[in-house]
Structure 1
Amino acid sequence: MQTASTNICERMGRSQELIEFKCGTVIGCHLCNKSRREISLLLNIPRSPVSGIITKWKQLGTTATQPPSEQGQRMLKHTVHRRHQLSAESIAKDLQTSCGLQISTTTVHRELHRMRFHG
């Protein structure tokens, strides 16, 4: 019979993410000065996800899933293909209003150049 502390988090595959409660439990253990190894053993989670959760929490202040960076690039590429005569300023304003992305004109220039759009 498993105890409650070992049943909180079961092992998960690489592609799965820990649910919010489990991430909160990892952060709670971290704040109680438990080592990453101790947290891993206590919650029955591999050390790599434990380390990733703690690192993400320290850097971003949250454990919530962030949208992938490629999503912004896809939206930028789609906007350029759809209306290819727009200036970088109008593309930046369009992305800010349509999807709430905070993007500067310089970033639009840089990303378009990296995607091999010139001119």
Structure 2
Amino acid sequence: MTHPVDVHVGKRVRHRRWLIGMTQQQLAEKVGIKFQQIQKYETGANRVSASRLWDIADALEVPVAFFFEGLSDDHKPAENTQAIPSDILGDKEALDLVRSYYAIPEHQRRRLFDLARVLSDVA
């Protein structure tokens, strides 16, 4: 049986990998393991050791704490009080949107953000 923390950490690995446009194979090569092991980590089927998590964090250019963000004290994902799905980063389309957003030059990105906020206010 998988532990909720292992599943959460695996999701965060997958989310970050998707966000930066890295494949499982590329991550596996950077970490020095087979891509099948990355698959098992991402599903929570296998628990990530501390040293391996350190290597993954380095390869994904995030602090180790990144993988635990969003967990509450009872080891369950924290409830989000906004009207956003709790697993928004699990949605490939949402991740593609975020990746595309950050590819836009900053001054244009700010204008797009302002537009999106206005549109969401009138919706």
TM-score w.r.t. the length of structure 1 is 0.27
Q: Which structure is richer in relative contact order (CA contacts within 8 A, separation 6 or more)?
A: 2
TM-score w.r.t. the length of structure 2 is 0.26
